[in-house]
Amino acid sequence: MKISDACNHKKSLSFEIFPPKKDSELKNIDATLDVLCELQPDFISVTFGAGGSLNCNRTIELAKKIKQNYHVEPVVHLTCLHYNRAEIDEFARILTAEGIQNVLALRGDRNPDLTEKDDFKHASDLISYLKPKGDFCFLGACYPECHPESANKIEEIRHLKEKVNAGAEVLLSQLFFDNTQFYRFVEDCRIADINVPIVPGIMPVINAAQIKRMITMCGASFPERFQKIIHKFEDNKAALFDAGMSYALSQIIDLLANDTDGIHLYTMNNPVVARRICEGIQHII
């Protein structure tokens, strides 16, 4: 099933997970999937570690498992900056052979340890290249507070429009903690005639290590209300979990009350987080 069908007709609920790095963690992922799939999301997206070998990729293994064992639609993330056309062709061949139709087409982050190849400069190049090669549904990433490499919001929206024109049928957003940033962004997109579903990405912040990573990496702004919660509870694991979950839940309820196109939850492979959020919105979504 193509994700665009689900997202165009209802508010979608989806989860993001990442493939385990070690064989020993494979058992845990089964337990995680048992819970996530029981929550009946519209899809589960599986992240992709750039720079590895494409044809023995754990992302595909996990996506296959989600589809075959749990009958939930997977979305495979695919980055392109470090691959050439032949490598992407092989990946597309495997996806088609496995019956996986939904691809979150990404450029990938720059990494000084990996060689950038010349064939694909932007996610839109990947979509344009793959579109004639199979019956895929493409999703794209978007950034309510601008991608760190963007010169300004106008450039950002212009390139996003190019990505949609190339064939991205659904946009999944970078995480954010201030809903007003997301509302402004969606308004700008609609003015620019970007009319595909734009699904907000929410990550419940539940531990101190996550907060530090977030501050250095994601570029999201931290509203005062959120900062206060972090400062107050960062040394108390259980309290931070409760506070982080409540903050995420209040963000999600506000987003749904404002008629967003759905909710994409960055689960960090934590089934407790996903279950708690779903319980909190069971009569809302």
* Catalytic residue selected from 16, 73, 156, 169: 16
Considering only residues 183 to 212 of the shown chain, the ones binding ligand FAD according to CB under 6 A are 201
Q: Is residue 123 at the binding interface for ligand FAD, with CB under 6 A as the rule? A: yes
| Binding flags for ligand FAD, 135-174, as an x/- string (CB under 6 A) | ------x-----x-xx----xx--x--xx--------x-x
Q: Which of 283, 280, 272 lies closest to 35 in space, CA to CA?
A: 272
The 3-class secondary structure across 220-245, one letter per residue, is: CCCCHHHHHHHHHHCCCHHHHHHHHH
16 in active site: yes
Q: How far is the CB of 69 from ligand FAD (least distance, A)?
A: 21
Q: Which of 198, 194, 186 lies closest to 261 in space, CA to CA?
A: 198
Query: How far is CA 167 from its chain centroid?
Result: 17
Q: How far is the CB of 234 from ligand FAD (least distance, A)?
A: 26
Q: Is residue 107 at the binding interface for ligand FAD, with CB under 6 A as the rule? A: yes
One residue of 44, 62, 66, 106 binding ligand FAD per CB under 6 A: 106
Cα–Cα distance for residue pair 202/103, rounded to 1 Å: 20
Q: Is residue 275 at the binding interface for ligand FAD, with CB under 6 A as the rule? A: no
Own/partner pairs for 148-155, CB < 8 Å, 24+ apart?
148/219, 153/188
Q: How far is the CB of 168 from ligand FAD (least distance, A)?
A: 9
Residue with tokens 């931290």: 222
Q: Is residue 246 at the binding interface for ligand FAD, with CB under 6 A as the rule? A: no
Surface-to-core class of residue 212, CB atoms within 10 Å of its CB (0-12 exposed, 13-18 middle, 19+ buried): exposed
**CA distances, 169 to each of 154, 160, 256 (Å):** 21, 12, 21
Q: Which residues, 6 or more positions from 171, have their beta carbon under 8 angstroms from its beta carbon?
A: 139, 140, 141, 142, 160, 164, 189, 194, 196, 197, 198, 199
Stretch of residues binding ligand FAD (CB under 6 A), selected from 102-110, 208-216, 239-247, 268-276:
102-110
Stretch of residues binding ligand FAD (CB under 6 A), selected from 67-75, 103-111, 205-213, 248-256:
103-111
Please tell me whether residue 83 adopts helix, strand or coil conformation.
coil
| Binding flags for ligand FAD, 40-69, as an x/- string (CB under 6 A) | -------xx-x-------------------
Residues contributing to the site for ligand FAD (CB under 6 A): 47-48, 50, 77, 79, 106-109, 122-124, 141, 147, 149-150, 155-156, 159, 162-163, 172, 174, 201
Which residues are the active-site residues?
A: 16
